[in-house]
Chains A and B, each alone.
Chain A
Amino acid sequence: MEKGNYRDSVTLMKVSNEVSKLKGVSQAAVLMATPLNKRFLTDAGFKGSEVEKAGPDDLIIAIEAANEEALESPVARVEEMLSSRESMKAEEIRPRSLASAVKVMSDANLALISIPGRFAKREAMNALESGLDVFLFSSNVPREDEVELKEAAKARGLLVMGPDCGTSIINGVVLGFGNVVRRGSVGIVSASGTGIQQVSTLLDGEGLGLSHAIGTGGNDLSEKVGGTTTMEGIRLLEEDEDTRVIVLISKPPGPKTSAKILNAASGSNKPVVVNFLGEGDAGASKQVRAVTLEDAARMASGFVNGKRTGAHPFSVSESRVRSLAQSESSEMSKTQRYIRGLYSGGTLCYESQVVLTPLIGEVFSNAPLKPESRIDDATVSRKNACIDMGSEEFVVGRPHPMIDYSLRKNRLLQEARDPETAVVLLDVVLGYGSNEDPAREIRHTIASAKKLAGAGRRYLSVVASIIGTREDPQDLQKQAKELASVGVVLMPSNAQAARFAALVASRGAVGRKLFGNER
């Protein structure tokens, strides 16, 4: 244990992975001693007073090997990797504080902050006081602090994107998690990072692009915060000459904030697509309401192209979808009835519930549509379930599941063992910030999961959507090819993946609701 030695969780994951592969090491974990990580260590068999005593700012190096001697070289390797990372950067200037960084880069205009939440307000305030706009990735920042930061920003004419902000794309530059998409005329203001990712990649697939995407942080539209950053974002996009259409994305806000935002939207000088997920109805002439992220992208492209297109449940024909669904369900056993969604994107998890509920009824979740559908224990699925594996209970002190697939891989096998699982539904998010090669990461686990089910005379259907573009570092085509090679059914959007899963799990019965009088 090294007291008060902070390293970010992504760096530590890389060190852990490399050390785990060393000869003689049976398992290894290098991590900050957050309560979640301590539990993880105890579960893995690393016990002792040092683990118990360690606090969230202490670094733990846990390595299991055959004997004391076999530990020496891996421990040395960890030390080397941690210090080499520092020395590697030593040629660069590494200021010790934000204040000295500002002295070195006097024309800096943005601070990107992703330190543990309890320290974030202090640094974000320092940044604002130095005249910097702030992208605040950190989560677990109290609402009062968020309000204070946003008020301070407003008074200075600055923008605080966050806390809990996953994605922004400013002038084509991706901050946090985001995809390489075309430049264009759609501007997005979003409380959801994966919301930006889904809408921007769908637009990109149609040849359209973004002017800017402004992330506001997940709590901006809470009644307490009242949408300060969202309102500022709308104002900035209204003034921006590159933006022709504005898309607003959020889970449904509280009534007061919702009214305020809708009012701003209908008073806008540009068309606004409002996507408060799950909420429909047509609004005023210049403002339309999208129920899903997919609808939002379709409506925005309608405004750009000057022609509106109708909604279709799938991009391909009904007969093709039905026959594909039929072949997925033909070898399922009678016990296999339920859909298990394992999500890295919180908003994608939510969107799936919006899509699934009218088709198959109640969906249990750790981030449910309604409080009564909250799952008792997020680590065990129940009936139809969608789990947000990026939620707090899974990530404190660990990399986000878009980077670290290990929890999702374990969960995938767990679902495969459950005789009631018919379909596992996944999101695979590409782009900056995300895992370098997700398909390689999960390919073998998917194959094993299918085998496991097969051994129990079942057929496990795995349905996924890839949120990405051909220009992303991971390459959409390559990822799609590799996932398809292990039998994953890929759909062009998260909403379509959810619809397809419902079609498979219901053995085609929801087709009537989906296709209605389209026949």
Chain B
Amino acid sequence: MKGKEPEKRSILKQKLKVINLGIEIFADDLKRQGVEVISVDWQPPAGGDEELLRLLEKLGA
């Protein structure tokens, strides 16, 4: 195996614990499957103002 690759347990071997951003039914469906999930109350950064967003990104915010 390639020695350079960082050690990380494969996602296929883990019990999924999910953070959901966006469509709510995806989180609901995961709960129905017995998966632990936490939903972020996501809103567009800078109130969706694209110019402000670009500016913030330039500033590394």
Contact = CB atoms under 8 A, between A and B. Distances in A.
A102 B19 contact: yes
A170 B26 contact: no
Contacts of A239: 10
A151 to B, nearest CB: 14
A256 interface: no
B19 to A, nearest CB: 5
Interface string B42-61: 11110111100000010000
Given A96-B40, A157-B8, A433 B24 contact: no
A436 B27 CA distance: 15
Nearest to A106: B17
Interface stretch (A114-122, A217-225, A315-323, A386-394): A114-122
A412 to B, nearest CB: 24
Nearest to A124: B21
Contacts of B38: 92-93, 95, 101, 104-105, 108
Nearest to A168: B11
B21 A109 contact: no
B40 A170 contact: no
B47 A4 contact: yes
Contacts, number: 152
Interface in B3-48: 5-8, 10-12, 14-27, 29-30, 32-33, 35-45, 47-48
B60 to A, nearest CB: 12
A356 interface: no
Interface residues on B, range: 35 or more
Contact of A112 (B5, B19, B47): B19
Interface residues of A, number: 65
A314 to B, nearest CB: 34
Given A8-B23, A137-B22, A157 B44 contact: no
Contacts of A98: 19, 21, 40
A176 B21 contact: no
A300 to B, nearest CB: 18
Given A110-B19, A112-B21, A236 B29 contact: no
Interface in A238-291: 239-240
Nearest to A111: B19
Given A113-B21, A173-B30, A236-B10, A95 B41 contact: yes
Contacts of A114: 20-23, 26
Contacts of A176: 26
B19 A101 contact: yes
A144 interface: no
A112 B49 CA distance: 24
Given A96-B40, A171-B16, A212-B12, A8 B47 contact: no
A173 B38 CA distance: 16
A171 B57 CA distance: 37
A513 interface: no
B25 A236 contact: no
B42 A6 contact: yes
Contacts of B32: 432, 473
Contact of A156 (B8, B30, B36): B8
A10 interface: yes
Nearest to B25: A10
Contacts of A78: none
A305 interface: no
**Residue from A55, A113, A122, A138 whose CB has the most chain B CB atoms within 10 Å:** A113
A111 B40 CA distance: 10
Contacts of B18: 108-112, 175
**Residue from A55, A93, A173, A236 whose CB has the most chain B CB atoms within 10 Å:** A173
Nearest to A127: B19
A11 interface: yes
Nearest to A135: B18
A174 B29 contact: yes
A122 to B, nearest CB: 7
Contacts of A6: 42-44, 48
Given A57-B48, A111-B19, 16 more contacts: A5-B43, A9-B23, A89-B41, A94-B39, A96-B40, A104-B38, A109-B17, A112-B27, A112-B37, A114-B20, A122-B45, A156-B6, A170-B12, A174-B29, A236-B12, A432-B32
Interface of B: 5-8, 10-12, 14-27, 29-30, 32-33, 35-45, 47-50, 57
Interface of A: 3-6, 8-11, 55-58, 85-86, 89, 92-98, 101-102, 104-105, 107-116, 118-119, 122-123, 127, 132-133, 137-138, 155-159, 170-171, 173-176, 212, 236-237, 239-240, 403, 432-433, 473
